[in-house]
Structure 1
Amino acid sequence: MTIQRMDNVGVVVEDLGAAVAFFLDLGLELEGEAQVGGPDVDRLVGLEDVRCELAVVRTPDGHGRLELMKFHSPAAPAAEPNAPINTPGLRRIMFAVDDVEAVLGRLRAQGADLLGEVVQYEGGYRLCYVRGPEGIMVALAEKLG
């Protein structure tokens, strides 16, 4: 048996609306929204009294998805939303884009911050890292030539 595909990456947020808006401005599309909870969800995630609101956004080609989740209960432990890029754990999501500067402009208008600089990497790509709402980091990659 082999893996068929990576289905989605889950990201827990406090402000679901801001997170959805950020990824829609990036160019992803809203696939759906739902509210989940109840005994089955409690058993699945190993928590009690789960109430969660979620939105799934996907890349335009339909192959990449993010599940953005806002837990209303139980209360979550404190997180470090602005952890540096070298902190252990999932740190960033990279997206291939047609024009780094255009996407960066849209994201900055939403309040996203450029982490370093836009760089040309080994002559083949323009790359940058951006921090969006709640410290979510995305990398943008524009293939040159």
Structure 2
Amino acid sequence: MTIQRMDNVSIVVDDLEAATAFFLELGMELEGEATVEGRSVDRMVGLDDVRADIAMVRTPDGHGRLELTKFHSPTAVGAQPNAPVNTLGIRRIMFAVDDIDDILARLRAHGAELVGEVAQYEDSYRLCYVRGPEGILVALAEQIG
């Protein structure tokens, strides 16, 4: 038997409201919000006394989801802030966009910063990396050819 699909990617954040606003500005849609806690949650994640708020956002095509999670207990542990793209582990999420310049302008209003510059890859794509709230790294790809 094989997997059916990738359901979602979880990103732990400290400011759930800011992270949610950032991804909604990017064009994702809020699917739902909830508080999770209790013995079954504790057993599943291997922590005690978990209480967390989550916001589930999805891509407009309905195929991709992010679960943004704010842990109230136990308190989230820190990672290296603004880790470079060659750091081990999950480093970035890439989204296909129609107009990279428009998206950049809108995300900057939410504190996003361009990591390098917008670059063209052959005659196929314009690409860039953007650092959003809490150092979340997002790549944007605009197909041009």
Task: Please indicate, yes or no, whether the TM-score normalized by the shorter chain is above 0.5.
Answer: yes
For 1:89 and 1:36, locate their aligned partners in 2 and report how far apart those are by CA, in whole Å: 25
**Equivalent residue, structure 1, for 2:129:** 129
Q: Secondary structure at the match of 1:141?
A: strand
SS of the equivalent of 1:43 reads helix
CA-based RMSD of the aligned residues comes to 0.7
- Residue 119 of structure 2: aligned partner: 119
Task: Report the residue type matching 1:121 in the other structure.
Answer: Y
Partner of 1:12: 12
Other-structure match for 2:35: 35
1:46 aligns with 2:46: yes
Identify the residue that residue 64 of structure 1 maps to in structure 2. Answer: 64
Q: Within 1, Cα distance between the matches of 2:113 and 2:38?
A: 38
Where 1:120 maps in the other structure, the secondary structure is: strand
Q: Say if 1:51 and 1:73, in contact at 8 Å, map to a contact too.
A: yes
- Contact 1:57 1:67 (8 Å CA) reproduced: yes
Unmatched tracts of structure 1, length 5 or more: none
Residue 81 of structure 1 contacts residue 136 of structure 1 at CA under 8 Å; is this kept in 2? no
How many matched pairs? Answer: 145
Task: Classify the secondary structure of the residue corresponding to 2:3.
Answer: coil
Amino acid at match of 2:100: V
**1:78-133 Cα shifts (integer Å, max 9, x gaps):** 22221111110100000000000000110011110000000110110000000000
Aligned partners of 1:142 and 1:88: how far apart in 2? 26
Structure 2: 5+ residue stretches without partners: none
**TM-score normalised to the size of structure 2?**
0.98
> What amino acid maps onto 2:116 in structure 1?
G
